[in-house]
């Protein structure tokens, strides 16, 4: 995993921390083709792993139901996978960059390597363009993968994830949890009860469970 750009946590003029596997996957030509998606991006907390506020302890990382199966299903189609995550605990002084990195490594131990991580280290009042619901994380991840956001899927558990996807031109799918507000669920076009159902419905193929989210 190579660090492409790691701004200071206090910086608001730079974008997110961007980490990639050191090679690009996909292309904008592919994004305009007939495939179901150019890339699939996942929120981290509450989507891939249980949402423990400001968690910097890798031993506390627990996968969400069907997360591994969903990631495997995307990879089986040859589609790049990435993570787009707000980590304001860094700006708030509650998390160190090293703790965020330790959790990232634990997530990859459980789910395998992701093609890109886009991490916003800023706080809600910092005025950055990357903190969801702003589109910066999605744009940065798509740029690193060299794919068109319009052919990219974004899965998350709260309205900010979907708002970021839509602001970037991507398709957002809400996978609600007990912390998802009812008004967020009512406001979005696509929902699914779990990650695997979402992936199967969106990507289709022989494992399609039928119907869209």
pLDDT per residue as tens digits for the range 79-98: 999 999 999 999 999 999 99
Please compute the mean of the pLDDT values over residues 104-116 and round it to a whole number: 97
Domain containing residue 122: CATH number: 3.40.50.1000
Q: What pLDDT sits at residue 35?
A: 54
Please compute the mean of the pLDDT values over residues 30-39 and round it to a whole number: 60
Place of tokens 């709260």: 158
**Domain, as residue range, for 145:** 35-202
Please determine, for residue 6, whether its predicted confidence score (pLDDT) is greater than 70. no
The answer to whether residues 147 and 130 touch, using CB atoms and an 8 Å cutoff, is no
Q: What pLDDT sits at residue 36?
A: 78
Distance CA 118, CA 140 (A): 7
Point out the catalytic residue in the list 5, 43, 57, 208: 43
Please determine, for residue 156, whether its predicted confidence score (pLDDT) is greater than 60. yes
Place of tokens 């319009």: 150
Please determine, for residue 28, whether its predicted confidence score (pLDDT) is greater than 50. no
Q: What pLDDT sits at residue 14?
A: 67
Strand partners, 3: 19
Strand partners, 5: 18
Point out the catalytic residue in the list 5, 45, 57, 72: 45
Token pair in block for residue 90: 């860094």
Question: How would residue 20 be classed by pLDDT, with cut points 50, 70 and 90?
Answer: confident
Contact residues for 153 (Cβ-Cβ < 8 A; gap 6+): 37, 39, 40, 41, 170, 171, 172, 173, 202
Rounded to a whole number of angstroms, the distance between the first and last alpha carbons of the chain is 33
57 is catalytic: no
Asked whether residue 63 is assigned to any structural domain, the reply reads yes
The answer to whether residues 153 and 192 touch, using CB atoms and an 8 Å cutoff, is no
Token pair in block for residue 11: 């910086």
Asked whether residue 162 is assigned to any structural domain, the reply reads yes
Classified as helix, coil or strand, 119 is strand
**Weakest-pLDDT range from 129-143, 165-179, 193-207:** 193-207
Asked whether residue 24 is assigned to any structural domain, the reply reads no
Question: How would residue 7 be classed by pLDDT, with cut points 50, 70 and 90?
Answer: very low
Please determine, for residue 29, whether its predicted confidence score (pLDDT) is greater than 80. no
- pLDDT tens per residue across span 181-195: 999 999 999 999 999
Specify the number of domains making up the chain: 1
**What pTM did the predictor assign?**
0.85
Of 45, 32, 40, whose CA–CA distance to 75 is shortest?
Answer: 40
Of 77, 109, 26, whose CA–CA distance to 204 is shortest?
Answer: 77
Asked whether residue 167 is assigned to any structural domain, the reply reads yes
Positive or negative torsion for Cα 123, 128, 129, 130: negative
Asked whether residue 56 is assigned to any structural domain, the reply reads yes
- Cite the DSSP H helix spans in 1-132: 28-31, 67-76, 97-111
Please determine, for residue 62, whether its predicted confidence score (pLDDT) is greater than 60. yes
Asked whether residue 29 is assigned to any structural domain, the reply reads no
Q: What pLDDT sits at residue 121?
A: 96
**% of the chain surpassing 70 pLDDT:** 82
**Weakest-pLDDT range from 21-25, 45-49, 149-153:** 21-25
Asked whether residue 23 is assigned to any structural domain, the reply reads no
45 is catalytic: yes
Asked whether residue 25 is assigned to any structural domain, the reply reads no
């Amino acid at each position: 995993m190579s660090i492409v750009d790691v701004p200071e946590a206090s910086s608001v003029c730079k974008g997110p921390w961007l980490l990639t596997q050191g090679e690009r996957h996909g292309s904008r030509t592919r994004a305009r083709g007939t495939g179901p998606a150019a890339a699939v991006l996942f929120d981290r907390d509450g989507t891939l792993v249980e949402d423990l506020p400001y968690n910097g302890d890798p031993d506390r990382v627990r996968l969400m139901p069907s997360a591994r199966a969903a990631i495997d299903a995307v990879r089986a189609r040859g589609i790049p996978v990435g993570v787009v995550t707000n980590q304001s605990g860094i700006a708030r002084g509650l998390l160190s960059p090293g703790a965020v990195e330790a959790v990232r490594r634990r997530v990859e131990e459980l789910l395998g390597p992701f093609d890109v991580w886009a991490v916003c280290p800023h706080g809600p009042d910092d005025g950055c363009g990357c903190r969801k619901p702003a589109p910066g994380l999605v744009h940065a991840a798509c740029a690193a993968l060299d794919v068109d956001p319009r052919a990219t899927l974004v899965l998350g558990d709260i309205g900010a994830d979907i708002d970021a996807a839509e602001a970037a031109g991507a398709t957002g799918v809400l996978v609600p949890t007990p912390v998802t507000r009812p008004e967020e669920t009512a406001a979005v076009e696509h929902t699914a009860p779990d990650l695997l159902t979402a992936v199967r419905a969106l990507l289709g193929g022989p494992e399609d469970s039928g119907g869209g989210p």
